[in-house]
């Protein structure tokens, strides 16, 4: 079984594109900052399928697979034994995440030339005999082999070879030391993310999505934006991870891509769930959900709360944005250390992203501009006293 069968018909005459092992000398030597890679399970069981493109539309813009065929050599191809050594034989002590795809380990690799200090990485393994995992593995290699942005996690390389127990598929990423946004919002940690850091994370994540939607020759729909997929580097800069469900957007005159509905409950746009019609506005909805999670410190769905509070988007409706009760939605761990004016603007933006009509949702580039203004509002300084006055 070829790991990269989608490249068979491209670049005829270049055998290295049909056999990634031939490219083992090529590698990315960039240093990493680094991550804990949780791999939350989604409710897709098939990996999803894109509709076929017409020959006319496919010639109008490059595809991810065509772009990957040109850029694949920048990825490092690892030997299984090399990654086994890097993770101390996939030691439980180095385990940093687990989910539907498989398990993620912290590892330490040498540079291509073997010089210098070891580089800390995250190594994601595929569950054997998982067809869903294989499709997601291929998608991650293709998309992250092409995409480059400060707010996207960096894929360093991959491994695909026959082992004693079958085909082994692994991915090697830069390591993100501050784990995920989910970990800090909902985990049992002593300190909460400060208000201005939350705005920084929201803005960086929005810039990452705007790049996917509007910064390339083709559209990329992320399709699984959620707090667990927003990883944080040592300075709490956010980077989007886990591109296993990503899809190319519609081409030409098409308004959407028809797919099997996938994603994570609580984050997927209702219009996408009902029709299977996927657009960039599906990501915008998911972003609105995460904005409310940043404001409230609550999960989109939380069965551990009272019934009336389990669905975040329903619960926040009790506290209108312009009312004196609005501050009741704010994460109590912030201890009133935030700008109420800025918080209201974030909630208004979230409501725009959560519009029932997809066409009424803003573009992510517009979201970025609003968040930049919100950061300025917050930094200009609505002090805690403002909140206390409205509360009384």
pLDDT, tens digit (0-9, with 9 covering 90-100), for 181-205: 999 999 887 689 999 999 999 999 9
Residues 49 and 77 in one domain: yes
User: Would you say residue 11 has pLDDT above 70?
Assistant: no
Tokens for 383, please give them: 């002090």
Confidence of residue 10 (pLDDT cuts 50, 70, 90): very low
Residues 166 and 246 in one domain: no
Residues 164 and 225 in one domain: no
Pick 257 or 57 by higher pLDDT: 257
Q: Which of 230, 306, 311, 208 has the alpha carbon at shortest distance from 266?
A: 311
Residues 206 and 59 in one domain: no
Residues 284 and 382 in one domain: yes
Q: What is the pLDDT of residue 21?
A: 41
Q: Find the mean pLDDT for residues 323-352.
A: 96
* Residue percentage of the chain with pLDDT more than 70: 77
Query: 3-state DSSP call for residue 172?
Result: strand
Q: What is the pLDDT of residues 122-160, one digit of tens each?
A: 999 987 655 566 778 888 999 999 999 999 999 999 998
Q: What is the pLDDT of residue 258?
A: 67
Lowest mean pLDDT among 66-75, 104-113, 169-178, 330-339: 66-75
The conformation of residue 255, written as its DSSP 8-state character, comes to: -
**Residue 195, Cβ density class (10 Å: 0-12 exposed, 13-18 middle, ≥19 buried):** buried
Residues 14 and 134 in one domain: yes
Supply the mean pLDDT for the chain. Answer: 82
Q: What is the pLDDT of residues 348-375, one digit of tens each?
A: 999 999 999 999 999 999 999 999 999 9
Tokens for 93, please give them: 């002590």
Domain boundary among 122, 144, 174: 174
> In Å, how far are 86, 369, 381 from 348, measured between CA atoms?
47, 14, 19
User: Would you say residue 16 has pLDDT above 60?
Assistant: no
Query: 3-state DSSP call for residue 278?
Result: strand
224 annotated active-site: yes
User: Would you say residue 85 has pLDDT above 60?
Assistant: yes
Lowest mean pLDDT among 35-39, 167-171, 362-366: 35-39
Q: Which domain range does residue 292 map to?
A: 181-391
User: Would you say residue 265 has pLDDT above 60?
Assistant: yes
Distance (Å, whole) CA 64 – CA 221: 12
Confidence of residue 51 (pLDDT cuts 50, 70, 90): very low
Query: 3-state DSSP call for residue 311?
Result: strand
Residues 35 and 78 in one domain: yes
Residues 316 and 297 in one domain: yes
The conformation of residue 301, written as its DSSP 8-state character, comes to: B
Distance (Å, whole) CA 153 – CA 139: 14
Q: Find the mean pLDDT for residues 17-29.
A: 38
* Catalytic-role residue among 44, 117, 224, 242: 224
Q: Rg (Cα) of the chain, in Å, rounded?
A: 22
Domain boundary among 157, 174, 191: 174
Q: What is the pLDDT of residue 130?
A: 56
Task: Provide the number of structural domains found in the chain.
Answer: 2
Question: What residue numbers does the annotated binding site for ATP cover?
Answer: 124
* Residue for token pair 């294989």: 134
Residues 254 and 355 in one domain: yes
Q: Are 240 and 152 in contact (CB under 8 A)?
A: yes
User: Would you say residue 389 has pLDDT above 60?
Assistant: no
Question: What residue numbers does the annotated binding site cover?
Answer: 124
pTM: 0.82
Domain boundary among 154, 174, 194: 174
Q: Find the mean pLDDT for residues 77-102.
A: 91
User: Would you say residue 42 has pLDDT above 70?
Assistant: no
Q: What CATH number is associated with residue 78? A: 3.30.200.20
Q: What CATH number is associated with residue 362? A: 1.10.510.10
Q: What is the pLDDT of residue 225?
A: 97
Pick 36 or 321 by higher pLDDT: 321
Q: What is the pLDDT of residue 374?
A: 97
Q: Which of 143, 165, 170, 163 has the alpha carbon at shortest distance from 154?
A: 143
Pick 129 or 340 by higher pLDDT: 340
- Residue 88 backbone class (left: φ over 0; alpha: ψ -120 to 50; beta: rest): left
**Residue 218, Cβ density class (10 Å: 0-12 exposed, 13-18 middle, ≥19 buried):** middle
Residues 71 and 193 in one domain: no
């Amino acid at each position: 079984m070829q790991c990269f069968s989608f490249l068979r018909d491209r670049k005829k005459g270049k055998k290295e594109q049909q056999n990634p092992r031939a490219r083992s000398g090529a590698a990315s030597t960039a240093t990493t900052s680094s991550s804990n890679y949780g791999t939350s399970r989604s409710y897709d069981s098939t990996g999803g399928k894109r509709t076929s493109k017409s020959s006319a539309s496919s010639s109008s813009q490059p595809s991810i697979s065509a772009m990957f065929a040109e850029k694949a050599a920048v990825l490092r191809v690892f030997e299984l034994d090399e990654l086994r050594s890097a993770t101390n034989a996939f030691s439980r002590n180095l385990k940093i995440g687990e989910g539907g795809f498989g398990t993620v380990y912290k590892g330490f690799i040498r540079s291509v030339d073997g010089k210098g200090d070891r580089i800390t990485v995250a190594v994601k393994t595929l569950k054997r005999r998982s067809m869903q995992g294989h499709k997601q593995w291929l998608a991650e290699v293709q998309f992250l082999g092409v995409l480059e942005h400060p707010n996207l996690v960096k894929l360093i390389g991959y491994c695909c070879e026959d082992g004693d127990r079958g085909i082994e598929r692994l991915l090697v990423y830069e390591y993100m030391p501050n784990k995920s946004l989910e970990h800090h919002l909902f985990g049992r940690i002593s300190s909460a993310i400060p208000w201005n850091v939350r705005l920084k994370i929201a803005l960086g994540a929005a810039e990452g999505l705007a790049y996917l939607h509007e910064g390339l020759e083709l559209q990329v729909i992320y399709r699984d934006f959620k707090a667990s997929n927003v990883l944080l580097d040592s300075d709490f800069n956010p980077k989007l991870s886990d591109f296993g469900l990503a899809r190319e957007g519609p081409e030409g005159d098409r308004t959407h891509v028809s797919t099997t509905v996938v994603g994570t409950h609580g984050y997927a746009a209702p219009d996408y769930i009902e029709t299977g019609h996927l657009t960039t506005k599906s990501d915008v909805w998911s972003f609105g959900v995460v904005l409310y999670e940043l404001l409230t410190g609550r999960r989109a769905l939380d069965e551990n709360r009272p019934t009336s509070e389990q669905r975040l988007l329903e619960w926040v409706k009790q506290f209108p944005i312009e009312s004196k009760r609005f501050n009741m939605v704010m994460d109590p761990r912030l201890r009133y250390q935030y700008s109420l004016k800025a918080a209201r603007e974030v909630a208004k933006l979230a409501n725009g992203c959560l519009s029932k009509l997809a066409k009424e949702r803003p573009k992510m580039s517009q979201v970025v501009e609003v968040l930049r203004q919100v950061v300025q509002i917050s930094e200009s300084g609505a002090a805690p006293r403002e909140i206390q006055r409205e509360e009384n």
